[in-house]
Structure 1
Amino acid sequence: MKRIILLSIIPFIGSLGLLPFVDEVDQYVLGMPFIFFWVVLWTLLISGFLWLIYHLDPRNMEDADK
């Protein structure tokens, strides 16, 4: 259960907690300003984290056994 809580905190910190520090960067990645790239990247990563949390949740493993 601690893994699930940790995995649910990481996207929040990465997407919102670090945003003020990322705003200072004046680089372009794939033709996008870095701040926009950061938001797009974390949008994709959050989907992965949610998938992982879903599959690690013991309540969902019980449903798979039935």
Structure 2
Amino acid sequence: MKSYYLLAIIPFIGMLGGAVFVNKVTPYVLGLPFLLFWILLWIILSSATMGIIYKLDTVNKGGNS
């Protein structure tokens, strides 16, 4: 297994592991309760992480075979 595949674990830890610690309602960010903002942030960061993995993966560098 390639080491950059381990980047896929980061969104899992951030969304599920971090939700335990940020489960608060009172601080609002962009008009959202902090937990909802946290989940939306990790959805965006998950897409960015998967894009990085896609760019680093050598299988995707092939031609139109």
Question: What band does the TM-score fall into relative to the shorter chain?
Answer: 0.7 to 0.9
Where does structure 1 differ by over 2 angstroms across 4 or more consecutive aligned residues? Answer: none
1:1-66 map, 5 Å = 1-5=2-6, 7-24=7-24, 26-61=26-61, 63-64=62-63
TM, length-normalised to structure 2: 0.84
Unaligned residue ranges in structure 2 (runs of 5+): none
Cα deviation for residue 58 of structure 1 reads 1.5
Let me know the Cα RMSD of the aligned residues.
Answer: 1.8
Structure with higher helix content:
1
Structure 1: runs of 5+ lacking an equivalent:
none
Percent pairwise identity: 45
> Which one-letter code corresponds to 1:30 in the other structure?
L
Structure 1-normalised TM-score? 0.83
Question: Could you give the per-residue CA deviations for residues 14-34 of structure 1, whole angstroms, max 9, x where no partner exists?
Answer: 011111111046300011100
